[in-house]
Amino acid sequence: MKTKTIVAAVLALGALPVLAQSLTVVNFGGANGAAQRKAFTEPFEKSNGVKVVPVEYNGEQAKVKAMVEARKVTWDLVEVESPDVNRGCDEGLFEKIDWAQVGNKADFQPAAVHECGVGIFVWSTVLAYDGDKLKNPPKSWADFWDVKKTPGKRALRKGARYNLEFALLADGVAPADVYKVLATPAGADRAFKKMTELRPHIQWWEAGAQPPQFLVAGDVVMSTAYNGRIDAAQREGKPLKISWSGGIYDLDYWAIPKGTPNKALAMKYIAFASSVDAQAEYARNISYGPTNNKALAKLDPKVLAQLPTSPANAKDALRFDVQFWADQGEALEKRFAAWAAQ
């Protein structure tokens, strides 16, 4: 009898559900978070029997630093912007990436391959306009600056970053030479002089949601904008369009906080999210470009036409220079603040 009771107890225990291992993944939420959930999280959970716990944040690297220094790491995987993957790597906040688990480096955008991070997607700051209102659409930053050809306000993000690059492009500097020119005192002067030309026609924006709102309302005739925001507006039926020439692209990265007990599982998630199929599915849900170049072949022409990484859109693009802005950003932002206040 006793033996039967023990056997029954063991069988009963065996029938209990086994708690799935969990992985805490941090991202910026919004449309990006929704696209990640559909392309990465849900299929990863299904195929690996793992519970992914999503957390939204706004890029607060200080939280990662506090966890690592206290040796109480509760975030297993974090989406970070390019300046933060560099800074965090230098400060020892992130684990080194085992690229043998991720894939062949040659298959990825060169910028996606980092010692402490793996590029998730490529996004771009672009020239946007209302296709219903502008019958002669702008094709370059020179057109953006040409208020005689197209009268009306232009919206720009309030800050030096991107605007100084666009000013030099508008002034005829080739994309490949923008940062070389901007790094010189004469080049910085040239950029600010070009900005001064446009100043009476500028309406500033400070949040990514504002450019599409300004355009739809007719407050401005053109605006700089994050391409994903324009994509979201287009999906809602708004007649907004993008001129891709001279857009500035950048990447967001996966980084693993140093000391997480789930490092192996975090690497497995990164590998899954970096696969061709997952990258293609992500791009179908939001118009940010795959970092795995092989994913492009899986996408239909309509999706490709909206991506920063499509050959047509990338040919005149400029990669955001993280190192330049790390070295000179503070001085240029101070100068910009004084200029904008005049």
Amino acid 248: pLDDT: 97
Domain 124-248+328-340 falls in which CATH fold? D-Maltodextrin-Binding Protein; domain 2 (3.40.190)
Provide CATH 3.40.190.10 ranges for the chain: 17-122+251-314, 124-248+328-340
**Above 60 in pLDDT, residue 340?**
yes
pLDDT value for 135: 83
Q: What percent of the chain has pLDDT over 90?
A: 83
Topology classification of domain 17-122+251-314: D-Maltodextrin-Binding Protein; domain 2 (3.40.190)
Check residue 311 and give its pLDDT.
86
User: 140 with 171: CB under 8 angstroms?
Assistant: no
Mean pLDDT of 43-59: 95
If pLDDT is split at 50, 70 and 90, which confidence band does 20 have? low
pLDDT tens per residue across span 160-173: 999 999 999 999 99
**What pLDDT is recorded for position 40?**
98
φ, ψ of residue 154 in degrees (nearest 5): -120, 140
Q: Is the pLDDT of residue 7 over 50?
A: no
Strand ranges (DSSP E) for the chain?
22-27, 51-56, 77-81, 118-130, 154-157, 202-205, 222-226, 240-255, 289-290, 318-319
> How do residues 290-333 score in pLDDT, each as one tens digit?
999 999 999 999 999 999 988 899 899 999 998 999 889 889 99
Taking only the tens place, the pLDDT of each residue in 89-138 is: 999 999 999 999 999 999 999 999 999 999 999 999 999 999 999 989 99
311/135 Cα distance (integer angstroms): 25
Report whether pLDDT(75) > 90.
yes
Over range 207-235, report the average pLDDT.
93
